[in-house]
Amino acid sequence: MQLFEGKKGLVLGIANERSIAWAITEKLHEQGAKMGFTHLPDTGDRPKNERKVAKLVEPIGAEFLVPCDVCDDEQIAAVMERAASAFGQIDFLLHSVAFAPPEDLTGPTWNVSRAGFLQAMEISAYSLLAVAGAARRRDLLSPTSSILTLSYFGGEEVIPGYNLMGLCKAALECGVRYLASELGPGGTRVNAISAGPVRTISAMGVGDFSQMLNLYSGVAPLRRNITPEEVGNSGMFLLSDLAGGITAEVVHVDCGFSKMGAPPDDFIASLKAGE
């Protein structure tokens, strides 16, 4: 029997085939899940975002694909109505939404604009509260449902180049804990995955990504970087009944990098050899 046989869910935030949300979606599909999806609203006459996501989700039998601007409560409510119409209730919700204006993301945090800070926080952190709240008010969450969002270690410690997004992820992770406490009595679990660096479109805009990959592979206990399949499996697990006792957690899928208090001797030796 497949882990998600008979289970229905909503996935927000797939951008393309490199998205972590897509890696998780592939695993959910393999386990029999039925899913509805959202895409960034398109402007003008060319449905670029819709086509990009449709190319991925239509072959796996998407129940629906609808636009959603997470800054618009009416659009969020419309998504929940569409999910209720298709499924009645959902068993899982995957939230993979983040954005910061490039000019604010690449500069120092002391120079972040007020407008950029507010926009980044609204999209990257508040949107989790917005979609969870909309689902709760619509009575969309089943008694054994699970919500999962995506974070990064830069929300816990300083990662040069992550800057403003680190502040957003810190707020997001705090939101996970409060939502888990408030939705838990109704049976809903809320967790986050803090993944190591993966070559996504958003990751490529953060600092020197190649240098980050080299650092992780040299310092992490497993001496390598994670794969999209690994984070996909972990996300699928956390959304499944196998993780029924896990909530309010930020699960690190980073080959152990986040637990290293100092770089290992062989990494230091490799740096000295390169001098």
Q: Is the pLDDT confidence value at 206 over 80?
A: no
Q: Is 178 a catalytic residue?
A: no
Distance CA 130, CA 108 (A): 28
Contact 253, 148 (CB under 8 A): no
* Confidence label for 198 from pLDDT (cuts 50, 70 and 90): confident
The one catalytic residue in 126, 162, 178, 216 is 162
**pLDDT for residue 158:** 95
**pLDDT for residue 217:** 94
Q: Is the pLDDT confidence value at 66 over 90?
A: yes
Average pLDDT, the chain: 94
Distance CA 81, CA 88 (A): 9
pLDDT digits (tens, 9 = 90+) for 173-195: 999 999 999 999 999 999 999 99
Residues 236-263 have a mean pLDDT of 97
Q: Is the pLDDT confidence value at 24 over 80?
A: yes
Distance CA 268, CA 16 (A): 37
The model's pTM:
0.95
Q: Is 162 a catalytic residue?
A: yes
Q: Is the pLDDT confidence value at 275 over 80?
A: no
* Confidence label for 43 from pLDDT (cuts 50, 70 and 90): confident
**pLDDT for residue 203:** 55
Of 1-5, 197-201, 215-219, minimum mean pLDDT range: 197-201
Closest CA to 60 of 78, 37, 84: 37
Residues 91-112 have a mean pLDDT of 96
Domains in the chain, CATH or no CATH each: 8-207+224-261 (3.40.50.720)
Please state at what angle helix 127-137 crosses helix 73-87, rounded to 10 degrees: 50
Q: Is the pLDDT confidence value at 58 over 90?
A: yes
Closest CA to 242 of 18, 25, 31: 31
**pLDDT for residue 262:** 93
Residues 49-73 have a mean pLDDT of 97
Rg, the chain, Cα only: 19
| % of the chain at pLDDT higher than 70 | 97
Highest mean pLDDT out of 158-167, 197-206, 240-249, 266-275: 240-249
The one catalytic residue in 126, 152, 178, 216 is 152
